[in-house]
Amino acid sequence: NALAVSTLPKHRIHPLFSFASSQEHRTKNPAAIARLTSLTSQLSPYPPRGISAVTAKSPDDVVVTACLRTPFTKGGKGGFKDTPAADLLHHAFVSLLKRSAIDPTAVEDIAVGSVLPPGGGATEFRAAALAAGFPVSTAVKSLNRQCSSGLQACVDIANAIKTGMIDVGIGAGVESMSLQYGPGAVTEFSDLLENHMEAANCKVPMGVLSEKMAKDRGVSRKVQDEFAARSYQRAAKAQKEGKFDAEIAPMEGVRWVDPKTEEEKRITVTVDDGVREGMTAEGLGKIKPAFAKDGSIHAGNASQVSDGAAAVLLMRRSTAEKLGQKILGKFVGASVVGVEPLLMGIGPWKAIPVVLEKAGIRKEDVDLWEINEAFASQCVWCVRELGLDEAKVNPNGGAIAFGHPLGCTGARQVSTLMNELERTGKRVGVTSMCVGTGMGMAAIWVKE
């Protein structure tokens, strides 16, 4: 920027820069120079980098003041099997408003990530916000970037705050896989797409391509089952110790129909019902492969089909202080990348180095990693290829153990990360996931 300014004709140089270039003012007005440095750093497309910059505080930071999720329940048979996605989202909204005590009129925009609803869920999600108590002045949109939709929703709101479009917003995610998962969720391809090899690869079922990746990258069944067992064991221990309690908003009066008697009941859902105790690699090793006779992927080492919603309240730091909101942490930045559709599982391996480079930090600076366990094969490969400390990755288990409601996971990870950073007294965390059709996404967060 300094070079660009120095090459401008004198009559085009802004007085601020002309003032700063004066030797007299450089020596006599240090306060003005400090202000100029601050202004030019804000104008620069390249923000300050490095761990000190990442952990520093600024009035313009995008901060998190509340984040939570519903329990996650098993698709087709769990506590939310008869609950529409919009109702789950409504509960997340109501719970977020209650927990944060924010005036709903202060929320200017809401972004909701979701993968399966017809029409993207745009109409019912707007209705859910209104029913939750947001005024008509609060805008709502739905979006779909497959498994990263919840994170993309948070990033969209964060970027809107950074650019000054809004001051306060909510990034959310929701999915009812019980009611909307199935062949109908994928549009039929035209001949044009079918006849293009890479384009046609976008519709290969994820289980099939994950089998291919496991074979190509040499990830054995034994390694996958060991990784999956560890996820179950960590989640069971965390649930027993109440580590998920702070992030979960229990839901009362949930409609549930008994599949045997067809009797309708009203139940209270308080915990993730997919978590199972006593899971071992040996036990998982007895399960038949799901996608190939000689395959390695099965129901026990892949993410659970599940239902749930999550929401994250974001705002400018100066706004949070003005409103008296407790700051939990801040959003630093994100990355999104593309990879070969048949290798979609390697997405985190490509996205994580990009976001670290953008922030100017190293993997050693990161205290905690929340990497979505779409399949044990892809997650363990990414972790080991990146050289991450496995003790810092999903310390309370992941999607294999408690579920992956597609559009919700990216928003859920924020709550899980923030709460674990708080418990352990750590600061820097990264969330990441692979994305269907061949993408990856990652984001950096810092605990207050």
Q: DSSP states of 109-149 as a string?
A: EEEEE-SSSGGGGHHHHHHHHHHHT--TTSEEEEE-BTBTH
Residue 283 is encoded by which pair of tokens?
């036990």
CA 288 – CA 298 distance, rounded (Å)? 7
| 3-class SS of residue 163 | coil
425 by Cβ neighbours in 10 Å (0-12 / 13-18 / 19+) ranks as exposed
Contact 67, 328 (CB under 8 A): yes
Torsion angle (degrees, nearest 10) of CA 9, 10, 16, 18? 120
Q: What are phi and psi of 66, to 5 degrees?
A: -165, 145
The CA R_g of the chain, rounded to the nearest whole Å, is 23
Separation of alpha carbons 320 and 318, rounded Å:
5
Give every CB contact of residue 436 below 8 A, 6+ residues apart in sequence.
146, 147, 206, 344
Q: Is 398 helix (H, G, I), strand (E, B) or coil?
A: coil
H, E, C per residue of 225-274: HHHHHHHHHHHHHHHHCCCCCCCECCEEEEEEECCCCCCEEEEEECCCCC
Sign of the Cα torsion 200, 202, 208, 209 reads positive
The amino acid that residue 317 corresponds to is R
Distance, CA of 58 to CA of 37 (rounded, Å):
14
Sign of CA dihedral 394, 398, 401, 402: positive
End-to-end CA distance of the chain: 31
- Residues forming the active site: 147, 404, 434
